[in-house]
């Protein structure tokens, strides 16, 4: 293994969403904390209750911790589990999107607003109307239109939303066993970034045969950790395959898809989860990701790391340095 150092070691961090704001690299991660909750397939052990923001002027340079920028007790609708967040800038304001369980135990996506990329952020009193499940990822296209991608199966509850209503009985079914895989979701965001302006729709991933990936295709189907970036005029949708522990991507000419499966970015890391973002900074492209090396393998105590990525002539993503020797 060609290992990398965590970007910070004074707190546990995971699910990094990286963006360039005001010429600096900002990272919006989950803030893992120690609990005595046993690991289970619902992810109850991921019991986070606040967010920090980090920034840096250069990759490999000093990292600034902007401290706690939003905490659970200040979000009226949340009962627990502040999971993987993301951030966006629009018209000079900064928006932190975050998933959490509401008072009924149902995951929703909230938004909090700030004047600076390093926070603090003030949460809206209610989650985004029509939002559900986990792992929001915002993407603002060159024409200014913003999109919110989200969803995650198993503990992320996406399987509960097959009819558009929350079906609690589906919680323990985890995912479809046959037919097409469950898809991540996407909707366009309003100009103030606080609501959806379109119905929520599927982010369909097609195989080389032009058919949606099958539910049984655990090496390639979407599990959680949606991310979208644009390279050379194409939209790249990247995600975790969950129980097979890969980071994969798919490519489209349209931010709403359908996307065609493109390959793997990262092989399994130490720890169960894998989650990432992709960002261009000072002419190079980087993969932000996490593993559980800082805690010597405790699944819910993770640390954020960075690797450079490159594109080949066909636009395929490769790590600049191999992950394993
Ligand atoms: O950090 C909690 C959850 O673990 C995230 O929402 C998932 O993507 C996984 O990394």
Per residue in 70-101, pLDDT (tens digit) is 999 999 999 999 999 999 999 999 999 999 99
pLDDT band at 3 (very low <50, low <70, confident <90, very high): confident
Q: What is the pLDDT of residue 1?
A: 52
The CATH number given to whatever domain includes residue 275 is: 2.115.10.20
Catalytic-residue membership of 308: no
Domain that holds residue 53: 13-319
In a domain, residue 37? The reply is yes
Whether ipTM tops 0.90, in short, is yes
In a domain, residue 123? The reply is yes
Q: b/e for 34-64, b at 16 or more Cβ within 10 A?
A: eeeeeeeeebebbbbbbbbbbbbeebeeebe
Instruction: Using the predicted structure, report yes or no on whether residue 113 has a pLDDT greater than 70.
Output: yes
Q: Is 250 in the pocket of ligand 1 (CB under 6 A)?
A: no
Q: How many domains does the chain have?
A: 1
Q: Is 14 in the pocket of ligand 1 (CB under 6 A)?
A: yes
In a domain, residue 133? The reply is yes
pLDDT band at 173 (very low <50, low <70, confident <90, very high): confident
Alpha-carbon separation of residue 45 from 156, 241, 258, 266, 299 (angstroms) = 13, 19, 34, 24, 8
The predicted model gives 21-33 an average pLDDT of: 98
Backbone angles phi, psi at 215, to 5 degrees: -60, -30
In a domain, residue 244? The reply is yes
Percent of the chain with pLDDT over 90: 95
In a domain, residue 325? The reply is no
Q: What is the pLDDT of residue 183?
A: 98
The predicted model gives 26-41 an average pLDDT of: 95
In a domain, residue 72? The reply is yes
In a domain, residue 168? The reply is yes
Compute, in angstroms, the gap from residue 314 CA to the centroid of ligand 1: 31
- The pTM of the full predicted model, rounded to 2 decimals, is 0.98
Q: What is the mean pLDDT of the chain?
A: 97
Instruction: Using the predicted structure, report yes or no on whether residue 276 has a pLDDT greater than 80.
Output: yes
DSSP string, 142-193: TTS-EEEEE--SGGG-GGGGTTSS--GGGGGG-S-SSSBPP-EEEEEBPTTS
In a domain, residue 2? The reply is no
């Amino acid at each position: 293994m060609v290992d990398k150092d965590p970007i910070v070691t004074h707190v546990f961090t995971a699910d990094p969403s990286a963006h360039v704001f005001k010429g600096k690299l900002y990272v919006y991660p989950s803030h893992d904390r120690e609990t005595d909750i046993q690991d289970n397939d619902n992810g109850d052990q991921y019991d986070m209750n606040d967010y920090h923001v980090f920034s840096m002027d250069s990759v490999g340079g000093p990292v600034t911790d902007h401290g706690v920028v939003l905490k659970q007790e200040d979000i009226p609708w949340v009962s627990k589990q502040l999971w993987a967040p993301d951030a966006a800038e629009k018209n000079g304001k900064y928006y932190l999107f975050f998933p959490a369980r509401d008072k009924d135990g149902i995951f929703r996506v909230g938004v909090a607003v700030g004047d600076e990329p390093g926070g603090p952020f003030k949460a809206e009193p209610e989650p985004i109307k029509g939002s559900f499940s986990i792992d929001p990822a915002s993407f603002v296209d060159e024409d200014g239109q913003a999109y919110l991608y989200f969803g995650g199966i198993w503990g992320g509850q996406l399987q509960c939303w097959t009819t558009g209503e929350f079906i609690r009985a589906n919680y323990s079914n985890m995912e479809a066993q046959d037919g097409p895989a469950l898809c991540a979701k996407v909707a366009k965001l309003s100009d103030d970034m606080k609501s959806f302006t379109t119905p929520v729709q599927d982010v369909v991933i097609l195989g080389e045969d032009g058919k949606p990936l099958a539910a049984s295709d655990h090496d390639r189907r979407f599990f959680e950790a949606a991310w979208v970036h644009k390279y050379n005029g194409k939209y790249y949708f990247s995600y975790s395959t969950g129980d097979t522990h890969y980071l994969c991507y798919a490519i489209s000419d349209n931010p709403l898809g359908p996307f065609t499966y493109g390959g793997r970015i990262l092989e399994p890391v130490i720890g169960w989860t894998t989650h990432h973002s992709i960002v261009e900074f000072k002419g190079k492209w980087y993969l932000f990701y996490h593993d559980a090396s800082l805690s010597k393998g405790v699944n819910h105590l993770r640390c954020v790391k960075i690797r450079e990525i490159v594109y080949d002539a066909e636009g395929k993503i490769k790590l600049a340095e191999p992950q394993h020797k």
